[in-house]
Amino acid sequence: MALLAGAAAALLSVYAEAGDVVHVVSRGQVLVHIAKRYRTTVEAIRAANGLRPGQFLKPGQELVIPEKGKEAEAAKKAAARRASKESGGKKGASAKESAAAGKGKKKGEARPAKPMPLVMKPKRPGFVKMVRGSERLETQLLTKHGRLVPSALPKLGKMMRHAQSGAKIAIDPRLATLIGMVSDHFGGRTIHITSGFRPYSPTQYTKDSKHNLGRAIDFSIEGVPNTKLRDFCRTFRNAGVGYYPNSSFVHLDVRTTKAFWIDYSRPGEAPRYDSPVARASADESTADVDQAPSGATPAPSGSGKEKPTTPHTPAGGSGDTHPPPSQVVDPSTGNSNSQDPTPRNAPKAGQD
């Protein structure tokens, strides 16, 4: 009975398919024994089945046994079989298509990784990673419930200090909360700070800049186009968003109104707004932006830096562009309105 069982197993380990001899590997078998059994060589079986020297065989693995003088043909058929299995054995796929698929893939070549989605849940909610020049900050800015962590504000203030003078100011809690929300929305990707706090200067283009009060940030996010960053920031209520197509950052500030503008100027140039409405709402020009601290690195690849764009002014300009509905934000998180001091000759509401 034992002899009969062994003979039956031996017969099941080989079958013919369209004239090909296909051997099914059983436990403990090695190429030397298989080659002797079919009166061929180990090298011929390896070549036909795309096996590497020293590669282990797996039970159930199918090997095409090449006929003498037809080794190349056997190799094509074996590649077609592998390609068919890798593609899930699609019905209707011809042997020629399967062979082409198998031939196009190099041995040991890894499949390209799927790109990460832009919007994704962060591994550590509320935990932000920031870079400015050679400096890095990694801290818990928000709790898992979205509340501001007050102890993180001094660290953020240091990171957003004035680059040239080193002067610091307390960062508005609501701005800090919005930064944490932006970080979480884009999966906790690294935030690159271009500019934060800036002391008032008589030469600045905007008389009352939120940068002078610690209520604004110019930034980009690694791997996120600035257009996507801009669009998400525009969902915040009572926030100003500036889009600079010919520069490397998006501006975000907190204020008592909702505002949006486009400035086509390049770094260091006077502003070129797309409309009078944009001019009234804008918080800064690219010429106002200070440089990063010493040791700064250029804008990262994929950070959203755009190619120079030619201004195109539609009727009404950016003021005529209706922003998406405001995001409802819980005031208990510190994301309540920031009341700006009212200077003399202050512009009317909506023209901050």
pLDDT in tens, 24-64: 888 888 888 888 888 888 888 888 888 888 788 888 888 88
pLDDT of residue 308: 56
Q: How far apart, in whole angstroms, are the C-alpha atoms of residue 35 and residue 44?
A: 9
Q: Does the pLDDT of residue 190 top 90, yes or no?
A: yes
| Dihedral sign for Cα atoms in the order 54, 59, 64, 68 | positive
Q: How far apart, in whole angstroms, are the C-alpha atoms of residue 345 and residue 352?
A: 12
Q: State the pLDDT confidence band at 196, using cuts at 50, 70 and 90.
A: very high
Q: Find the range with the poorest average confidence among 72-86, 146-160, 305-319, 326-340.
A: 326-340
- In the beta sheet, which residues pair with residue 21? 16, 65
Distance of CA 17 to the CA centre of its chain: 47
pLDDT of residue 172: 97
Closest to 242 measured CA to CA, from 207, 212, 206: 206
Q: How far apart, in whole angstroms, are the C-alpha atoms of residue 56 and residue 69?
A: 26
Give the whole-number percent of the chain exceeding pLDDT 70: 68
pTM, two decimals, is 0.57
pLDDT in tens, 254-299: 999 999 999 999 888 899 998 888 888 898 888 888 654 444 433 4
More confident residue, 104 or 244: 244
How is 254-321 classified by DSSP, letter by letter? E-SS-EEEEB-PPTTSPP-BSSHHHHHH----GGGPPPPPTT--PPPTTS-PPPP------TTGGGGS
Amino acid at 159: M
Q: Find the range with the poorest average confidence among 70-84, 103-117, 324-338.
A: 324-338
Q: How far apart, in whole angstroms, are the C-alpha atoms of residue 202 and residue 125?
A: 41
Q: Does the pLDDT of residue 350 top 60, yes or no?
A: no
Neighbours of 245 (CB within 10 A): 20
Q: Does the pLDDT of residue 14 top 60, yes or no?
A: no
Give me the phi and psi of 132, to 5 degrees please.
-145, 105
Q: What does pLDDT average to over the chain?
A: 76
pLDDT in tens, 294-348: 444 334 434 444 455 655 444 445 544 433 433 333 333 333 333 333 333 333 3
Q: Does the pLDDT of residue 182 top 80, yes or no?
A: yes
pLDDT of residue 328: 33
Distance of CA 52 to the CA centre of its chain: 36
Residue with tokens 């090695």: 30
Cβ atoms of 142 and 333 within 8 Å: the answer is yes
Q: Which residues of 307-323 are buried (b: 16+ CB within 10 A; e: fewer)?
A: eeeeeeeeeebbbebeb
